[in-house]
Structure 1
Amino acid sequence: MSGPTSGAPISLPISAVERDTGLSKDTLRVWERRYGFPTPQRDAQGERLYPFEQLEKLRLIRRLLDAGHRPGRVVAQPAAQLRQLIERLNQPFDPAHPRAATPSPATQQRELHRLLEHVQALDAHGLRRDLSRAAARGGLHAFIFDVAGPLLNEMHAARLRGALQRYQELWARECLENALRQELAALPPPPADARPRMVLATLPNESRGLGRLMMQGLATLHGVECLSLGQQVPVPDIAEAASGHRADIVGICFSADGGQAPLRLALLDLRNRLDPSVELWVASTHIKSLKQPIQGVQVLTQPTDIETLTDRWRDQHQVCV
């Protein structure tokens, strides 16, 4: 995208900024609240409009993120300081190509196959190196959607065709969990008055924590203040945490390992223990196997449901982001 040439100053909608920089709309909104940048204008319909000079600074930030810098260290800095940081990199800065190119579908598939080869070979160094590179290149949002989720699908398919053993998959999931924890730890803390507030956990007999970490990452990026309790948490403890944390939402993730009857009983117990004003969200691709819906339980069947339901909650409670 070229710069302005003449006439009135150029302002771009958030969708155009997202396409130009590779920074998601959610990321731009979170930075606006946490760091005071960007500072978009508003059109007659209240939609965000970004002046061209802010787009240029976002390009600089994107470049630094690709080089391994964290948002909390660069977003609030002035553009001049960002340019100085870029000058220290051992590559020239090209304003026309401010970020690494997004991998093509074919390239992404090759990268997934390489990750799967690391898993099959129990190559800890290779797997952790490539996971770290993928996270640094695209950030947490892209890591969840483009790496973690697809890799889980690849491993599942490999298990079905006999190309991967269960112990290899369990080890790889642990590596993925560690990578996600590192990315979550690098996120800046939300403001004290962030809403909604969410408590996250897995129920007893649920040993997998990867889904909870993915849910926490997407919720945090969307401005949700999260308190994660970990895995296999007793129902009374979850309810007590929701009360003590003044939670608006309780998020539960599960796999199919624990069985449907115990899951249903645990969810009914938890729903009864929670204040009626607290929403209960349950995330799993296996939720459809429950024979009957549970009143007062909101089902999430895909990752993007986090953003949709959070926006709905804010609209209902008139909370601005």
Structure 2
Amino acid sequence: MDVELIRLTKRYGDTIAVDGIDLKVRSGAYCCLLGPSGCGKTTTLRMIGGHEAVTDGDVVIGPRSVGDAAPAERGTAMMFQSYALFPHLNCRDNVAFSLRMRGRPKAERRARALAMLDLVQMGHLAERLPAQLSGGQQQRVALARALVTEPKVLLLDEPLSALDPFLRVRMRVELKRIQKDLGLTFIHVTHSQEEAMALSDLVVVMNAGRIEQAADPRTVFERPATAFVARFIGGHNVIALPDGPVAVRADRMRLGPDAGPDARPARVVAVEYQGTSVHIGLDHAGLDLLAPDMDGPGRPSEGPAALTAILSDRAFAAAPLGLGDVVAVGWDPEAAHRLNA
């Protein structure tokens, strides 16, 4: 089911948490709201689900305006960061609880709960209590509980943040599989760029209550709209030139003899081995870099912000660099992407 936000605004006194945003998420899409802490992404999610009152604007789900509707009337379900499982109920009864509150017959709610546990590969642990489960297993039960009411839109508030890195990757695969199998619209809040890129059809980058860019992951990474997006997504150098700021992907920087005719010398200030690649930090050799600014667009850095170049492991091994080395640095003109001022 489509979800549309129309000039959606949330104020707390004089503080604007969400500042008149417009967004349309198509039916069946996986949308990630991405941004730093305090950017308004969770408040936006809670307004979609009816867990936070709308100050101005509207939320439209399918054909209906639901800005003033109760959560149960919106066709949405929320999966919270804390999971919030009932400690005294086993997995089956945790999943069936919302059906019980809706007065569904016992046989129906048990059968539906077991089907949802099977969907998330937890049917064999239906009789266990939450305390007997790992964090990843609890997360699966919470997901089954959110899905058991057959919502049209599932809202997820940083559902993977409590998991260890290995399990987080596994659960990303599971979330994407379930979303595609059920054909639901998922709206997922995260501060992880990697998570948003891996999961979403639509990445919505937020900053200071506004949307900086909303596009598919490849477009956001290849063609960031603003300096903030380029720096927050990562993997880019944001460089201030006389005719405006540009972003150059770190893996498209050129070092040494291949740096090009406009290359300039730079001193190596960091070398980080990352397995398949090596990240080289360089002094900016007279370039004005735009430092990250979590409250607005990038601004000229006051300190010695490092330029970053990413080399393949093989390329670095063929011409290794060490701290203090001076090397020519440049980039191809076509690798530079113009940013909005």
Output the TM-score relative to the length of structure 2: 0.31
Larger strand proportion of the pair = 2
